[in-house]
Chains A and B, each alone.
Chain A
Amino acid sequence: MRPELPREIVRLFRAKQARRRDLARLPFEEKMRIVFQLQRMADEILTMRGSPERRRRAGSAPRPRALSLNP
């Protein structure tokens, strides 16, 4: 962590890091539940943003039980 950052910000960043380490210790099933939630969030954000790529894909790929996205 860069020492020139304000102390409060450093504290916030450390708390985030600790939270992520806690997440890393969750059971695999619980982590996968979060991954699926992240996928839904990412799709909602792209839809909200009205990304041309997202709109184009929505019309081009079949979407039965799945979203039309990609990493």
Chain B
Amino acid sequence: MGPKRGLQVARVSGMEKTLDVLNELEENQVIERYAIGGGIAVTYHAEPMLTYDLDAFVLLPQASGKIISLSGIYEYLRAKKFPAHREHIMIHGHPVQFIPAYNALVEEAVRTAQAVSYRKVRTRIVRAEHLVAILFQTDRPKDRIRVALLLEQAAIDRKKLQAILKRHGLMSRWKEFSRENRYEA
């Protein structure tokens, strides 16, 4: 898959400053909670992989009601002079995509995410088992590659994974994937 159009990609390190801003969003209750997913989460659990943005799954404050809107995040960050560029916001040189928890699985993944430190900055990363389940659900070609990578390299608790897959109605997809890829279901 070729690069998407027009996204700016971090050339610099210093991701800790970006994480500081995510933590600030939580502290100031702009969001209830966040957890990193996507390619960065896969990199955390498996080998480093080429990715151009930081996906932050977010739980929005209760007051937001049933309508999912990221406008609070965008307004807060615009005031801090972090520019939006299409679906991303550039935070200290890193393109961040905020993804509201769009279903029960993603919400569970954010609530149970693993607390980690990156250069002494605390953050949260979706656990490998939830990451696999989310990738099964989205099921794009690149997601299948990521699932294979995680199953090969990440420390995955198979019982935990199966419980998550059952809870969210993904067992048939798991069985299908296991058959195709000769994994033990």
Contact = CB atoms under 8 A, between A and B. Distances in A.
A66 interface: yes
A69 B13 contact: no
Interface in A7-55: 20-21, 23-24, 26, 28-29, 31-36, 38-40, 42-43, 46, 53-54
A66 B11 contact: yes
Interface size class of B (residues with CB under 8 A): 35 or more
A6 interface: no
Interface in B1-48: 1-13, 15, 39-40, 43-48
State the majority secondary structure of interface residues on A.
helix
B8 A71 contact: no
Interface of A: 20-21, 23-24, 26, 28-29, 31-36, 38-40, 42-43, 46, 53-54, 57, 60-71
Interface of B: 1-13, 15, 39-40, 43-53, 85, 90, 93-95, 116, 118-119, 142, 152-154
16 contacts: A20-B153, A31-B44, A32-B48, A32-B118, A36-B13, A38-B48, A39-B52, A61-B6, A61-B7, A63-B8, A66-B12, A66-B95, A67-B9, A68-B9, A69-B8, A71-B52
